[in-house]
């Protein structure tokens, strides 16, 4: 193993390059936010972080209904996550444990939802939402997003449940545990990593929601942050530093959520990959 | 404690019949072992008793009441699984207490958070705590109560599984090959622990195994099964000494009973090119049959004072005893094949080497006879009453 130090150095170099590559846009976002608009449009962006401009940035941000938009985004993302995980657990359990007619067809239809582009569904959904009175409603958006994230969540959870020996469930049956209890007390705690993975996928599907929100929501009060930020981009003027500042604030809860569940995720995404 | 009756129980999976018209009964306080090779339907039968598998035909009676459609809860049984089936995310304490927690479960406890609080509250109840600790002490698990199953050895997990089934104080214990995942030494230890436990709790145990040593050492009664059909029901001694057919004779005992197809002419038997006189009686009106004798009932000597000449083909020295496999006849000992060998179990270390000429003998009263076409055991006529013997008089 005489090449070990060289391998380690190459590995470290590769990590630095990849982290820089992935992290630079975030740095650039922070750097842009800490430039004043005059600089950006006249003398060009100063590439380093100018913390002296923080008060100016803060003044610009408080003028925006940022908290309201963040709340809306949180509601869409949280609602999508909660509903996807609840329904996904039940659906995943049914697909994993029960044999019934049409089981294969359900799996096929669930995959089909991932094949169809969102944009293709905007018009039919719009028509449906008018009929159902869900237009201009955050709950309507939650439902629309659940439609896309539920199949993914259900499949992740089904795969995890497949790996749990059936004997554990039988044992719980013998111990007088009701069927719903078997799911909530036994199965779900055992697939916590996969639940975390499914939660992240559903959460970010809701958090990054733009297309449906921009189409279905008319009130500025109901906009999520993504639509709010896009509204700044005007024909003649775009306050880039405020947009980037708001984008930074928009990223923080998502980062916090990811950090909260990230320890569980890797195990969840790789579960079933090797014989345990 | 219920008496269990099986009235023509059968189980089919599609067109495949796993158990055919099973008739037996399990008495109160009995340690019944279902013994048979893999795939003979013994585990399926146990799962049908527990209510984990549907019964395709016949009646399962608990104290004369038809229990075919009863839920596992109504049957009040405990089940120990081959893989232990412990809950990996719970501590040993929570695992053992789980049946008690579920006994206190109400429908409204399904509400998230409420169930967490309720389960914690039940766990804190003095009687639950006391029950868990009593069982843990009984099975020497006290020091492990706060550990998770993942950090326990196979034997410890097995004891946790037993503790979880004991804590509810059910009337019937069902054990599905609970020792098959343990190493040989631990298996011997757990075998005696389970036997002691049965004597202590005085409940009915139904135990499934394919290991005839477990069956012989633990059972008060054994049901030997093959292909879903009962081959014999009896005490371990009955099963060993008077096997009902050649399947039981071969399956129980290690090495199994010697079964030698013989030609019979009066008192003269012949097989493998040798002949000898047997004065213990032979099956009536049969000119050929299967002659059976247990290895420990045979004697072997190098000096030639025995009725059956042979050659030593296999020697297994086990320390306290030696098992010798002999090929009948005077020829070569026949290489490594163990087919058609006659096994002899002897104490100590007999001074015989591979390929050595020897003679085998036995006490005529120890022979067991089986019908050649059916394999069923037949009772021999007394030696003096055989037609040839009668005509000679």
Residue B256 CB neighbours (<10 A): 18
Q: Are residues B235 and B150 in the same domain?
A: yes
74-103 in B: which are within 8 Å (CB) of A?
77-79, 81-83, 85-89, 98-99, 102-103
The CA-based dihedral angle spanning residues B239, B240, B244, B250, taken in that order and rounded to the nearest 10 degrees = 120
Query: Of B248, B268, B300, which residue is a domain's last?
Result: B248
Query: Of B223, B248, B273, which residue is a domain's last?
Result: B248
Span B364-391, pLDDT tens digits:
889 999 998 899 998 877 655 444 443 4
Q: Are residues B277 and B239 in the same domain?
A: no
Q: Are residues B99 and B22 in the same domain?
A: yes
Q: Minimal Cα distance from A174: which residue of B?
A: B72
CATH class for the domain made up of A66-270: mainly alpha
Of A153-167, B37-51, B278-292, which range is least confident? B278-292
The answer to the question of residue B390 being in a domain is no
Side-chain-facing half-sphere of B43: CA atoms under 13 Å:
12
Mean pLDDT for all residues in chain B: 87
Full DSSP string of A106-173 = HHHHHHHHHHS-HHHHHHHHHHHHHHHT-TT-HHHHHHHHHHHHHHHHHHHHHHHHHTS-HHHHHHHH
Q: Are residues B340 and B191 in the same domain?
A: no
| CATH number (domain holding residue B215) | 3.40.50.300
- Determine whether the interchain pair B52/A180 forms a contact, defined as Cβ–Cβ distance below 8 Å: no
The answer to the question of residue B392 being in a domain is no
The answer to the question of residue B89 being in a domain is yes
Total tally of structural domains belonging to chain B: 2
Instruction: Kindly indicate the confidence band of residue A14, based on its pLDDT and cuts at 50, 70 and 90.
Output: very high
Q: Does the structure show a pLDDT above 50 at A271?
A: no
Instruction: Kindly indicate the confidence band of residue B10, based on its pLDDT and cuts at 50, 70 and 90.
Output: very high
- Decide: B18 and B12 in contact? Cβ < 8 Å: yes
Q: Is B169 on the interface with A (CB under 8 A)?
A: no
Q: Does the structure show a pLDDT above 60 at A130?
A: yes
**How far is the C-alpha of B209 from the C-alpha of B80, rounded, in Å?**
12
Q: What is the pLDDT of residue A83?
A: 96
**How far is the C-alpha of B114 from the C-alpha of A181, rounded, in Å?**
13
- The arithmetic mean of pLDDT across residues A155-172, rounded, is 91
Answer with the residue of higher pLDDT: B338 or B385.
B338
How close does chain B come to A185, measured CA to CA in Å? Answer: 9
Please list every residue in chain A whose beta carbon sits closer than 8 Å to the beta carbon of residue B108.
none
Span B124-148, pLDDT tens digits:
999 999 999 998 988 888 999 999 9
Q: How do strand B321-328 and strand B341-347 relate by DSSP bridges?
A: antiparallel
Answer with the residue of higher pLDDT: B336 or B301.
B301
Q: Does the structure show a pLDDT above 80 at A212?
A: yes
The partner residue sitting opposite B88, judged by closest CB among A174, A175, A190, is A190
Answer with the residue of higher pLDDT: A14 or B337.
A14
How close does chain B come to A268, measured CA to CA in Å? Answer: 15
The answer to the question of residue B342 being in a domain is yes
Domain of residue B211: give its range. 4-248
Q: Is B134 on the interface with A (CB under 8 A)?
A: no
Q: Are residues B165 and B292 in the same domain?
A: no
Span A75-129, pLDDT tens digits:
999 999 999 999 999 999 999 999 889 888 988 888 888 888 888 889 999 999 9
Q: Are residues B94 and B184 in the same domain?
A: yes
Side-chain-facing half-sphere of A41: CA atoms under 13 Å:
9
Domain ranges of chain A: 66-270
The partner residue sitting opposite B85, judged by closest CB among A165, A184, A185, is A165
**How far is the C-alpha of B137 from the C-alpha of B141, rounded, in Å?**
6
Q: Does the structure show a pLDDT above 90 at B32?
A: yes
The answer to the question of residue B240 being in a domain is yes
Span B108-125, pLDDT tens digits:
888 888 888 888 889 899
What interface predicted TM-score (ipTM) does this complex get?
A: 0.80
Distances in whole angstroms, Cα of residue A62 to Cα of each of A223, B107, B297: 17, 49, 99
Q: Is B138 on the interface with A (CB under 8 A)?
A: no
Q: Are residues B234 and B379 in the same domain?
A: no
Please list every residue in chain B whose beta carbon sits closer than 8 Å to the beta carbon of residue A185.
115, 119
**How far is the C-alpha of B281 from the C-alpha of B266, rounded, in Å?**
9
The answer to the question of residue B391 being in a domain is no
Q: Are residues B244 and B261 in the same domain?
A: no
């Amino acid at each position: 193993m005489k090449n070990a130090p060289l391998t380690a150095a190459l590995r470290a170099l590769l990590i630095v390059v990849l982290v820089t590559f992935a992290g630079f846009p975030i740095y650039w976002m922070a750097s842009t936010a800490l430039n004043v608009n005059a600089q950006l449009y006249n003398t060009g962006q100063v590439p380093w972080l100018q913390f002296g401009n923080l008060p100016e940035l803060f003044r610009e941000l408080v003028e925006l209904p940022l908290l309201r938009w963040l709340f809306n985004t949180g509601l869409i993302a949280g609602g999508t996550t909660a509903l996807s995980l609840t329904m996904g657990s039940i659906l995943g359990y049914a697909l994993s444990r029960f044999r019934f007619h049409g089981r294969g067809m359900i799996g096929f239809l669930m995959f089909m939802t991932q094949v169809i582009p969102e944009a293709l569904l905007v018009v039919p959904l719009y028509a449906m939402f008018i009929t159902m009175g869900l237009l201009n409603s955050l709950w309507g958006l939650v439902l629309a997003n659940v439609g896309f994230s539920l199949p993914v969540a259900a499949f992740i959870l089904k795969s995890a449940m497949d790996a749990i020996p059936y004997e554990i469930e039988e044992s719980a049956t013998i111990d007088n545990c009701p069927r719903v209890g078997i799911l909530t007390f036994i199965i779900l705690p055992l697939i916590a990593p996969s639940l975390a993975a499914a939660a992240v996928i559903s959460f970010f599907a809701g958090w990054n929601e733009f297309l449906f929100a921009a189409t279905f929501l008319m009130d500025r009060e109901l906009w999520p942050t993504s639509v709010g930020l896009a509204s700044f981009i005007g024909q003649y003027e775009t306050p880039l530093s405020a947009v980037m500042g708001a984008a930074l604030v928009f990223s923080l809860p998502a980062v916090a959520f990811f950090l909260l569940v990230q320890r569980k995720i890797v195990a969840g995404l790789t579960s079933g990959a090797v014989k345990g | 404690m219920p008496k269990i009756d099986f009235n023509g129980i059968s189980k089919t999976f599609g067109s495949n019949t796993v158990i055919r018209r099973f008739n037996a009964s399990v008495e109160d306080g009995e340690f019944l072992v279902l013994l048979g090779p893999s795939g003979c339907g013994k585990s399926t039968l146990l799962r049908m008793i527990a209510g984990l598998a549907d019964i395709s035909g016949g009646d399962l009676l608990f104290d004369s009441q038809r229990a075919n459609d009863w839920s596992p809860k109504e049957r009040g049984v405990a089940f120990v699984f081959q893989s232990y089936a412990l809950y990996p995310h719970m501590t040993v304490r929570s695992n053992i207490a789980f049946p008690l927690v579920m006994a206190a479960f109400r429908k409204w406890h399904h509400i998230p958070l409420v169930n967490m609080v309720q389960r914690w509250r039940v766990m804190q109840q003095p009687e639950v705590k006391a029950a868990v600790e009593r069982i843990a002490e009984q099975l020497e698990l006290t020091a492990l109560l706060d550990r998770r199953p993942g950090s326990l050895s196979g034997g410890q997990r097995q004891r946790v599984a037993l503790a979880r089934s004991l804590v509810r104080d059910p009337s019937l214990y069902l054990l599905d090959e609970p020792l098959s995942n343990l190493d040989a030494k631990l298996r011997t230890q757990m075998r005696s622990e389970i036997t002691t436990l049965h004597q202590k709790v005085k409940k009915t145990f139904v135990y499934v195994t394919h290991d005839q040593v477990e069956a012989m050492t633990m059972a008060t009664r054994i049901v030997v099964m093959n292909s879903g059909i009962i081959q014999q029901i009896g005490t371990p001694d009955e099963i060993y000494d008077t096997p009902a057919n050649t399947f039981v004779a071969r399956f129980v005992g290690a090495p199994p009973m010697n079964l030698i197809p013989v030609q019979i002419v009066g008192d003269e038997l012949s097989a493998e090119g040798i002949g000898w006189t047997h004065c213990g009686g032979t099956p009536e009106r049969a000119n050929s049959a299967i002659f059976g004798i247990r290895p420990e009932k045979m004697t072997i000597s190098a000096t030639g004072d025995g009725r059956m000449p042979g050659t030593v083909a296999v020697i297994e020295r086990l320390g306290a005893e030696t098992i010798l496999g002999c090929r009948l006849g005077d020829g070569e000992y026949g290489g490594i094949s163990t087919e058609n060998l006659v096994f002899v179990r002897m104490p100590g270390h007999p001074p015989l080497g591979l390929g050595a000429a020897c003679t085998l003998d036995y006490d005529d009263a120890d022979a067991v006879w089986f019908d050649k076409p059916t394999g069923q055991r037949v009772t021999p006529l007394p030696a003096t009453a055989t037609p040839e013997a009668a005509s000679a008089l």
